Structure 1
Amino acid sequence: MAASVRGINKSLLPAAKTRATIAKRLTGVTGAMTTATIAEMEARYRWFRDLDAEHRSWITLVAQTGIDGFVTWFADPDPAAPTGSDVFGSAPRELARRISLAQTVELVKTTIEVVETQIDEVMPKADRPVLHAAIVQYSREVAFAAAEVYARAAELRGAWDARLEALVVDAVVRGDTDETVLSRASALGWRSPAAIVVVVGRSPEGDGSQTLEAIRHNAAIGRVDMLGSIQGDRMIVILGGDGLHSETSTLGLVGSLASFFGPGPVVVGPVVAHLMEAGGSTREALSGYRAAVAWPEAPRPVSTHDLLPERALAGDGHARRALARELYDPLLAAGGGLLETLISFLDQGSSVEAAARALFVHPNTVRYRLRRIHEVSGYSPTDPRDAYALRLALTLGRLLSKPEPAKAAPRPTPIDARAVV
């Protein structure tokens, strides 16, 4: 069995002395091969023509190093597979950021084709079969080396992006979003959409980074920007897109992503207009996530607005004020006996007839007022879940209402004794 080192089959190469002789003749034409390679690159590829002089010089250096490396490798008595540093180490690291992997493949492919053409044109006929067999082996290893360079660069870039993304999400959670955070988010591909929501749920089991990438992929299909981070046992995802303006569309999108979260509630914060304001959505989403344990039958996902009663009982002052101001105050201002009807309806066990008797009105009047309560508040007293929120809103509205200051009793007018006489 032929000996091989890192993929190099030595049985396909001639003796070392023969290779040294051929390599000496090949050395004299390496400069012409490099010049021909760059000319061919310029003729074939527009992206190469669009490069500035500095980047073109880097590619020229890589091509020249590759050709010289082939000659050195071919002349080596004990050749081994070339490494990425042998071929691409001569160019700065920025080259991997400036040209893509596909463009690097085009560079390698063009260089090999030019070298093969030059071999047929300038080398003796006896040398050509040996050199063609050698260039096939060498080019294969160079292609593997290129893939390794880009894989390592992608891995480093992915690790850096993950750390940067975690910093952005952490700043949003802390409500410390400034221009620096916006710049970092933009570097991650955030396009500053007009509608943004924050989603909180339990961290998934296994590799969380793969889960975040899966969410990012599915969000991209729906043309939605995504930032995410895993913080302990919870996963926070920030979504942004023009299709998130309505609660229905938002819950529909998050519902398609809910399976990526761990078991338990998936809470969706309110929609905000800018990443600068996402701290408010995050605060409500975290509050709802903590309080969701009190409503195990909640849908998945569930909005923070639907969790207002649980959040209020858990001590969220914003939720208490929202219930009082968004439910109690509008009913009080609407008049028409709506507040009195709601109180009586709930006190009478949600019985229309019993409430009508307590109020001394016709049952149809109670039904009309119940419909009006639904129109004014958005909550239906006949729905058990809505009735629960309305009952809590009544209590909080009374507690948070400022009592009118008591009027001082008028002082008695002193009696003039002479007037009595």
Structure 2
Amino acid sequence: MAPAAGDRADPLAEAAERAGRDARGVPAELLVGYLEGLDEVSSTRRRLRADQLRVRREAGARAAERGVSLHGVIDLHLSATWLAWPSLSGVREAPDGDAVRAAGEAVFRAADAAVMAVAQGYEEAQRWSVRQEESFRREFVDDLLDGRNLGQLAERAERFGLRLAGSNVVAVVRAAQPVVDGGEVARAVESSLHLRSGSRDVLVTTKNDLLVCVVPESMSGALDEFVRQVAAALGTDPTWLVGVGRPQSGPGGVVRSFEQSRHAVDIADRLGLPGRVHRAEDLLVYQVLLRDSAALADLVSVVLEPLRGVRGGAGPLLETLTAYFANGQVATACARELHVGVRTVTYRLQRVKELTGYSVEDPSQALSLHVAVLGAKLLGLPLSSHQTS
């Protein structure tokens, strides 16, 4: 629709520019095709065509991609509608009030459909952006915790608030139920931790059914807060454990600390260690034992195999040895833990000596017994399952 000679600039273009200003600077170019469509509808009284609605969906998607709020882009369209109303062909050329009302009904119906299309395009673009971001994040987390593509990790990490050049600590949580990405537990811990720490430098994610937290070594308090939030989220689960790796630097440091934290949880679980939080640095002796699992299995077999033949099974004797060493080789403390008499403890220890030839009173033999009992648990050897009559 060209303006008549001597007229001022195109009134629809002016309405679009004014709408952009009224909508606090939302780009007027997002209206391309909209007012022309309303002008056509005002004369024909027809609905917007499918191709015109498609253009509006695309405008909504562009708005989302450019960071324009949904409120802003809708405000732009509604402002343009009333600003352009007096200039629409069907309104200017209407012969009477009935014609104006008919044009109004058609225009406002078209505006409603257009705004709905804009919102649909906007929301679709946002959903796609969220899915894409989740995909990027999952790929980054997998590379980070698997130690892949280390050369590119530092640059990619900045997008998620991590600084891999420094030293980081990884903590993992194992619970009775697997912790899944986007699940209730992961969301609750992440949102609460970020709210309280006020920092983006902490990454909370999942891997292999574990809840994982990556924290800069300098933010030691964040780990304590992480454990508190885990306790709040898993309070009804009596089995959850936290493993904490040692501080490690560089892009490959995170995967090393992650593996250490996983091993700490495994060891604590196998040995039934007391407490919820287990640090890798406190469990180094067990990792040393596991490095030569074949030799450890031989030691278990040589020292504890004779217990298999005891009447009633090896369970009570192994349980007594475990409690005895856990209580600093003090028989009275061992008895209290097992809820038996001290004479029962001393009798069982004597039976161990008779059956195996190893005495808890001899320091070197006591060490062999202690390591053998630990080794059986670390390796998952079922020494207590065999019973004889």
TM-score (norm 1): 0.54
SS in 2 for 1:305: helix
- The partner residue of 2:13 within 34, 41, 47 is 34
- Residue 253 of structure 2 is aligned to residue 277 of structure 1: yes
- The answer to whether the 8 A contact 1:266-1:300 is kept is yes
Structure 2: gaps (5+ residues): 2-7, 294-326, 334-366, 375-389
The 5 A counterparts of 1:13-412 are 31-42=10-21, 45=24, 47-48=25-26, 59-60=28-29, 62-73=30-41, 79=47, 85-89=54-58, 95-102=63-70, 103-116=72-85, 118=87, 122=92, 124=94, 126=97, 127-176=99-148, 178-190=150-162, 196-202=168-174, 208-211=181-184, 212-222=186-196, 223-225=198-200, 226-232=202-208, 234-240=209-215, 244-246=219-221, 249-258=222-231, 264-272=240-248, 275-296=251-272, 298-308=274-284, 310-315=286-291
**For 2:255 and 2:292, how far apart are their aligned partners in 1?**
16
Shift of 1:291: 1.9
**Aligned-pair Cα RMSD in Å:** 4.6
Residues 202-242 of structure 1: CA distance to partner in whole angstroms, max 9, x if unpaired?
4756963244444432232122434455444x234233368
Contact 1:193/1:242 (<8 A) preserved: no
How many residue pairs get aligned? The number is 291
Tell me by how many angstroms 1:300 deviates: 3.3
Bigger relative CO (Cα 8 Å, ≥ 6 apart): 2
Q: Cα–Cα, structure 1 residues 44 and 131, in superposed 2: closer, same or farther, change >3 Å?
A: same
* Distance 1:65-1:113 versus aligned 2 partners, 3 A rule: same
Moved more, 279-288 or 72-81: 72-81
Quickly say closer, same or farther: Cα 1:134–1:193, change in 2 above 3 A: farther
Aligned equivalents of 1:205, 1:69: Cα separation in 2: 54
For residues 242 and 139 of structure 1, the distance between their equivalents in structure 2, rounded to whole angstroms, comes to 56
Aligned partners of 1:193, 1:137: CA distance in 2, in Å?
A: 58
Instruction: Note the C-alpha offset of 1:146.
Output: 2.3
Distance 1:37 1:94, change over 3 A: closer
Secondary structure at 2:281's aligned position in 1? coil
Q: Which amino acid aligns with 1:278?
A: V
Given the two structures, how large is their TM-score scaled by the length of structure 2?
Answer: 0.58
CA contact (8 A) 1:66 1:87 kept: yes
In the alignment, which residue of structure 1 is the partner of 2:313?
A: none
The share of aligned pairs that are identical, in percent, is 13
**Preserved CA contact (<8 Å) 2:154 2:163:** no
Counterparts of 1:221 and 1:308, CA distance in 2: 34
Matched residue type, 1:216: E
**Compared CA separation, residues 66 and 219, structure 1 to 2 (3 A):** farther
